[in-house]
Structure formats: structure tokens, C-alpha cells
Amino acid sequence: MEAFSMVLVLCLFHFFTTTTLALNAITPKQSIKDGETLVSASGTFELGFFSPRNSKGRYLGIWYKKISAGTVVWVANREASVSDASGVLSFNDRGILSIMNSTGGIVWSSNTSRTAPEEPVAQLLDSGNFVVKDRNDSDPESFLWQSFDYPCDTFLPGMKIGRNFVTGFDRHLSSWKSEEDPAPGLYTLRIDPHGLPQFVLKKGPEILFRAGSWNGVYFSGRSVTKANPVYSYEFVLNKNEVSFKYETRNGSIFSRYLMNPAGLVHRSIWNERKNDWEVFSVAQADQCSIYAYCGSYATCNTIETPPCKCLEGFKRRSASSADLSSVNWSDGCTRKTPLACDGGDRFLRKTALKIPDTSKSWADISIDLKDCEKLCLKNCSCTAYANLDIREGGHGCLLWFGDLIDISEFNEGGQDMYVRLAGSDINHIQSKGKLTEKQKAGIIIASVVIASVIMILALALYVWKIKSRKTGQHVKEDLELPVLEFATVAIATNNFSSNNKLGQGGFGPVYKGTLIEGQEIAVKRLSKNSGQGLEEFKNEVTLIAKLQHRNLVKLFGCCIRKDERMLIYEYMPNKSLDYFIFDKTRSKLLDWHRRMHIVDGIARGILYIHHDSRLRIIHRDLKASNILLDGNMNPKISDFGLARKFGVDQTQANTKRVVGTYGYMSPEYVLDGLFSMKSDVFSFGVLVLEIVAGKKNRGFSHPEHNHNLLGHAWRLWMEKRPLELLDTGLRDSYDETEVLRCINAALLCVQQHPVDRPNMTSVLLMLCGESILPQPKQPGFFIERNLPTADTILVENETFSIYKSTITSIVPR
């Protein structure tokens, strides 16, 4: 009986303790000690003391409880931690919250000048907002204090970002200093109130990214053509404030904007099926998202090569930088003809734009577009105008003064803008393509003659086309980049001298060359007997010509003469990644910082071809030898001969012609011919493990087992010895947290089943983020001891069954 009473007392104690900890509010004189928490009514959020990873300091924070447990969204005492578990959050009758340490010293306080309500409570709401309010009043405008007024690195639905013009109070996001330190870091995301207010990401005072100004529907930096089905937005701009907030249309959807310590901003939604955050967009997706990347009076378009070009009526500001080698457009462009400012100026309409920086602009919603043009003409400093609001056909007036900076071109969506030019420039632009009467008459006569000739030569032309397909000459008709003459390439390479030979690729030799204007190039001369035929050549040219990213090798042009086919690339002085990481001496030149830089660059390049470019590309042959390194050791993905284009909604494709390189190909591709973005993710995971270990996946040997590098990494991970994978040359200088995160992310990429692998957006966030990564499942690895000796394979349908049975027999148990 006594034992039963003791058990009953313990059960009741546990019940009341749990009930106390499950409260969502405290009243004056109550407190929360370290180890106790408040939980919002629905159980979505929890408030209490915590320590960031690898930190001993204690902070009062709010985190998700129902989903993504432990993911912190807000911190109170960001700059002053409690050194031990003695911290207490107290709440007095004046409505003041305070965090005190073991000596009773105040570490943080929610001081406010407003009068406390009669019955104040401090309550954690289901929105994640921690508020001080009257017990019976739920009007946000009457809150005495709220955590939503002091955002950290997370922007939640219902939270407001902006500035109060009356008080000067500014609500903005600020990054953590590091994963271990929640103090305000280098990066902020805020609304800049100058001119027409706009969303900007800053590093200190420097603007890194501009989301644009509000156009009535969305921020102008986005390419949008229809309303967002997930979110509703509220933007306020009046004499008292400028602010922005968003809500999810479906209350069961959990969403957030997060800015990590590296300044990367992404928007994600909780995927209940995957039990993880699914990233939908990243602010800094490509080089055109870099603020003022092309300088003034120039537009940026990632699908063009180069991405920058001057607006019509303008020219490069620096004549010396206009050659092929110039990729620095920071000087921008300047007018071809000065403005007259006497009534002779006119406007050129530009469409589908991310409109320029509006910090030096003026706006009035009551003025129509016609009067807006008149106002601009009256002021010689006015350089362009546009509608302020794009709804219902557009209304309002927005005027720019000074240089037009940070303009991008969109394929769809965007806004119209009218750029001021001298009348003579407008006349010249409009006259392009127009013909005189004499020219028209000449064309009519020529057309009759040509039609007659065509009838005579039709058969000969048909025969010529059939022959040209065999020789490859017809490729020129489809190319979207310069075609160099054979003599030009021969002169540049000293007639393909052996002294100029850089190496021998899978499809032929590569030569270094120098064009007459001084541009260094790399010439990939396809062997007549190589495995890369006309289709692979044409595929590589047409695909990479449409891609432009700092982590993709730049294709300058091509050369075609009879059965000769050559690709002209930018020259990479540091050769390829395998030249360094698999050599005992040269690998020492790649310290851990450089290796992380290379991993990050490769990830960003793959993210671009998978998600951010105009075309969705699956590379299919990612490997160390296809990662080239420029003079600053920046990685650039090369060799798109085996790449394939995917539709926007396409997720997987099947082929009977399996091509690629053993050791990097995913199991579903080798066995069943199935390839997708997740195939490239697998190859990337292999690459990362090779970069960490300094060893090849294929051909790896270990005295204790017969696994390849993937199998070895998996064993070390399961035995909690992952750091033993690290290249021995790095053992004295490396970041343990980064190494573990790299290995974890890589093992997630090489999991057996494609559905388990993350996409590249998630991978990039894993590598530079601070969240806890999932536990990987067993990788799809092979013991490659009896495979063909050639590195690159091309398996046709009739021989595929033989290879398939061979591979199946060696999958480890």
C-alpha cells in the first residue's frame, strides 16, 4: 500500500509538472526557469532556454515544437548569453520581461514606455509571436510588447518588416554571427525607405541583393505572371509607415523566410510527407541577382552570353573593356548622345524588366502615365518613368533621377519602363529594319529572280543538305554562338602544336591557344574516331550556349570544317579538379578553405542548371575531371556533351543508351537507364566525398574491407568515426563542423533511392546552413572489382543486359 501511494504521488507530480510546462502564458510575479517552457495553444511553438550547437551559452528563444522540432525562430538575449543553466525569465506587474542570471543581474529586458494593461499576461501565440497584452484583449495594435517587433533571422507569417516614419523604429531581419552565436551578424534584410521604398539585402552598408519596390502585386525584382496560390501579401506605404507582411492562405501550411549566417536568403514550406523543409526559392539564385552586376544603363539576362548588355542608345563606358575577355561590367554604360533637355528628347519603351533601383526616384499614385511622361520631360535630371502600380492596366507615376542601376530582363512577367534618350537615338533605333522605296523595289525584283533560281536548284539543294548532315556542316545553322574559322583556331594553337597540348580528354585532345586580340582559349578538338558524335557535339554547343553562370565553363564559340569539330572554351590555367585532389603533392595546395569553396561553387553551378536557368539541364557526367579551375581556383562545370534537357514539369527520363563514368553514376541509371536531377545529386555526393578524402571512389582500396569510397565513408559514419575519412594532409587545419556537415550532406546525396536524396537547393542550404541534417540511409554503392577497365562507358541496348547482370551480381549485401 505504501508503495502504491508513492507511485500515485509520483504520477500526480508528473501530471502537474507537465501541465505547468504546457501553459502558453504567465502572469506577473510568475517566471520561467531554465528547463521550463511555454507552449503555444496548438503546440506549434515552444519558448524556453536553449544552447546553439557547440555553444555553452544559454539563450531564451522560440522554436518549432510540432514540426521541425528545435528549429529556432527567435532569440531574446542575442548579444548576452547566460553562462549556465541558472537563467530565469521574470515578468512584473508593469508588463516588463527580464532575463536574470545567477547573481540577479539583468541580462536582457523588454523595456517599454507604454502603460501596462490592468491584467497583463505574457503569452506565446500560435503564430510564434511572444506578446505582452491585456488578458482579455487580442488586438495586436494594443499589445504592450511583442517579439515580432524584434525579428532575428527568420521571417514568419504575420510578422511585419518595415519602418515607422514617426518614431523611426525599424523592423528588419539580421543574420546570426555563426551557427553557435545568435548575435546580429553581417547581413540584414530590410526595407530601404529612400525614394520609393524597396526590399534590400545588405552586408553592412553595402547592398548585395535588391528584391525591388512594390508594384501593387509583388516586389518588382521577381518574374511573376500570376497570383501566388500559397501566400497573401500586405504592403503599406503612407506618411506614417512602410511595411510588408505575408500570410499563408491555408492555415495548415507552415512557411518561413530564413537568412543564414552567410547571408543566403531562402523561402521554404514544411513538407509533412518528407518531414523536412522544402525550399521553393533562393534570393541570390544567379549572377543577375548580384546588385548592379552590369553597372548603370545595362540589363542582365542569365540566358544570354555575356549576360550584360547596354540599353539601346547606350555604349560601354570603358572602350578598353569591350573585348571578348572583359567580364567586368561594373563601369556600366553611358549615353551615345547627350540629352538635349529642350523638348527634343523622347522615350524608348522597354518591357519585361526588373525595374532599376528606386532609391533616387519620385512617385505619385494619382498621376497617369501620359502626365508622368510630361513631368519627366520637364526635369532634365529625369532619366526614365513607369507606372507605379501595374494592376488594372497600370496607373500612378514613378520617375527616376540619375543613373539607372540594377536592371534585369525577364522572359515573362516583369514591368514596362520608358527610358529617356536623345531624339536622334530614338530615330536611329526605330529606323532599324525600315526600308526605302528604292530598297523595296530592289527586293521585289530580287525575290522574283531568287524564286526562279530556287526552282532550278531545289534538287541540288536537297542533295547538298543530305551530304551536309553527314559532314556536320548543318550544325552551323542551329548554333547561337560565334563560329570561328579553322585557320583562326589553327593560328591560335600554333597549328595544334604538341607544345600547346593541355591534355587528352575522353573525346579528343585539348589545346591551349591565344587569339589575335590576346584572349587565351582552350580548344577541344574532337577526334574523328571519338565516342562523341555529331549529336553529342551539337548537344553540347546548343545547351551550354544558353547557359551563363560563374560556376559553368564559358563557351566562346565552335569551329566546324568537313568532319572536323572543335569547341572553343575559356582557358582554365589550373586544369581540372582531379589534377589536384588525387595527387599527393598537389593536393596539399588545396587546404580545407579552398576545398569548401570548390564544393560550394560546384553546388551552385548544379543548382543553376537544375532550377535557375531557362533550360532545366541534367548533366549526366559530373566527375572530378569535368570540374575545371580558374586562376583563383574557382570551380567551373564543363563537358555538356552527355547533358539532357528536361521539361519544367519533367522529373525523370529513361534511356536505352547509358553513358557516363563508373564511380559517379547512380544505381537507377546504371541498372535501369533512369536519370533525373537526383542522378546528378548522386554524382555530386561522390564528388564531395572525393574532395574530403582526396581519394577516388572507383579504385579505392582499404585493408579492412573491399568497399569503394562510398562504402568506406558509410562504415565510418555508422561507426561514428567520420573524421577518419578526411585527407591526411588536412588533419592539422580544418573546420570539424564543416567537415562533418560535408560528409553528412554527401551521404544524403548518394542514398540508394532517388526519392531519399535532397535536391540541390536543399544541398546548398545544408552546406552553408545551421540546421541539423537528417541521418542518411545506406548509399547506393558497388564493389567495383570486376567492372570494365575503361572509365567512360557507352552501353547500347543490345549489350545492356550483360552489363546489368554483371553489376547486379556485385551489389553488396
Here the CATH number for the domain that contains residue 65 is: 2.90.10.10
Adjacent-strand bridge partners of 202: 188, 207
- Sheet strand arrangement including 564-570: 501-505, 508-514, 520-525, 564-570, 555-561
Domain identity same for 584 and 707: yes
Q: How confident is the model at residue 446 (pLDDT cuts 50, 70, 90)?
A: low
Cell of 407: 536592371
- Which residues are catalytically annotated? 621
Is 452 within the bounds of a domain? no
Domain identity same for 296 and 225: no
Considering 571, 599, 628, which residue would you say is the last residue of a domain?
571
Domain identity same for 623 and 558: no
* Backbone φ and ψ of 785, nearest 5°: -100, -25
Domain identity same for 691 and 739: yes
Provide the pLDDT for residue 466: 52
Return the percent helix, strand and coil in the chain, to nearest 5.
Answer: 30, 30, 45
Q: CA-based angle 224:678:579, to the nearest 5?
A: 110
Is 16 within the bounds of a domain? no
Domain identity same for 406 and 492: no
Q: How far apart are CA 309 and CA 311, in angstroms?
A: 7
Q: How far apart are CA 298 and CA 350, in angstroms?
A: 12
- Looking at the structure of the chain, the number of domains it has is 5
Domain identity same for 390 and 495: no
| Cα 75 to chain centroid, rounded | 27
Domain identity same for 306 and 221: no
Domain identity same for 696 and 802: yes
The whole-number average pLDDT for the span 783-799 is: 38
* Residues in CB range of 70: below 8 A, 6 or more apart: 50, 63, 64, 772
Provide the pLDDT for residue 291: 94
Alpha helix (H) residue ranges in 694-735: 709-718
Answer with the residue of higher pLDDT: 322 or 39.
39
Lowest-pLDDT range of 367-371, 423-427, 516-520, 594-598 = 516-520
Domain identity same for 120 and 142: yes
pTM to 2 decimal places = 0.61
Domain that holds residue 105: 21-149
The predicted-structure confidence for 227-272, as pLDDT tens digits, reads as follows: 677 889 999 999 999 999 999 988 889 999 999 888 888 888 998 8
Domain identity same for 332 and 385: yes
Length of the chain: 813
Least Cα distance to 132 among 124, 118, 144 occurs for 144
What are the E-state strand segments in 711-809?
792-795
For 49-70, b/e burial (b = at least 16 CB within 10 A) is bbebeeeebbbbbbbbbebbee
Here the CATH number for the domain that contains residue 559 is: 3.30.200.20
Is 441 within the bounds of a domain? no
Provide the pLDDT for residue 721: 93
The predicted-structure confidence for 766-779, as pLDDT tens digits, reads as follows: 887 777 888 999 89
